[in-house]
């Protein structure tokens, strides 16, 4: 169960960061396809995780092996650190 929560939480964190960065770019009047796609992709990742958790009979069945789960967790943590330390939002 811990692996399932870790997997879907990492996807939601990454999706949330994509959406927040895209929205911040749009608020800074940087309206380009990249900003719009970041928002849409972030919302899509959040929607995917929520839909899978809400509708799947056994969400653990769709979770990849341990190596992939930990790779996704590390990627979400690194993406979070990069977003906080080196905010790429245009001013």
Q: How many folded domains does the chain comprise?
A: 1
Residue 90 lies in a domain: no
CB 24 within 8 Å of CB 88: no
Residue 91 lies in a domain: no
Residue 55 lies in a domain: yes
Residue 25 lies in a domain: yes
Whether the pTM exceeds 0.85: the reply is yes
Domain that holds residue 7: 2-85
| Predicted confidence (pLDDT) per residue in 70-87, tens digit | 999 999 999 999 988 887
| Predicted confidence (pLDDT) per residue in 38-62, tens digit | 999 999 999 999 999 999 888 888 8
Tokens of 69: 């789960």
């Amino acid at each position: 169960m811990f692996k399932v929560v870790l997997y879907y939480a990492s996807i939601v964190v990454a999706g949330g960061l994509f959406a927040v960065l895209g929205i911040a770019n749009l608020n800074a009047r940087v309206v380009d396809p990249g900003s719009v796609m970041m928002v849409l992709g972030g919302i899509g990742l959040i929607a995917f995780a929520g839909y899978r958790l809400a509708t799947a009979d056994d969400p653990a069945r769709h979770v990849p092996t341990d190596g992939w789960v930990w790779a996704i967790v590390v990627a979400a943590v690194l993406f979070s650190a990069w977003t906080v330390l080196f905010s790429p939002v245009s001013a």
